[in-house]
Amino acid sequence: MAVDLRQDSHTYGRWLSVILSPEHNNQLWVPAGFGHAFCTLEPNSIISYRVTNYYSRDHDKGVAWNDPDIRVEWPDIADAGTLSAKDRDQPKLADLPSYFSMKDS
């Protein structure tokens, strides 16, 4: 799942999701200015992703996974009990500062 976090974008707050599978050998590229999250559909899944820079705790931001303004349609198997403490305590979209703009994309 990816959600547009660029406040000056006409798609701000809109999301999309893709089911990734070894059978389809597909992947999802998430550009700068978008938040991303995932939910595994099979037990013992291995997640691998690439990033454009080294991890920085100061730049690690997020948005609430269940924000009512975004309304992500998570699969029925999504379990809030498996969220990390960090992911449980993210702000709503309406409370996010302006981190990204279309100029950054």
Q: What is the pTM of this model?
A: 0.86
Tens digit of each residue's pLDDT (9 = 90 or more) over 41-51? 888 988 888 88
The second-level CATH assignment, the architecture, of 1-105 is Sandwich (2.60)
pLDDT of residue 83: 86
- Quick: pLDDT tens for 74-92: 988 777 788 888 888 999 9
The domain locations on the chain are 1-105
**For the chain, what is the radius of gyration of the CA atoms?**
14
In b/e form, how buried is each residue of 4-41, taking b as 16+ CB within 10 angstroms?
bbbbebeeebebebeebeeeeeeeeeeeebbbebeeee
Q: How many CB atoms lie under 10 A from the CB of residue 90?
A: 19
Cα separation, 65 vs 8, in Å, equals 21
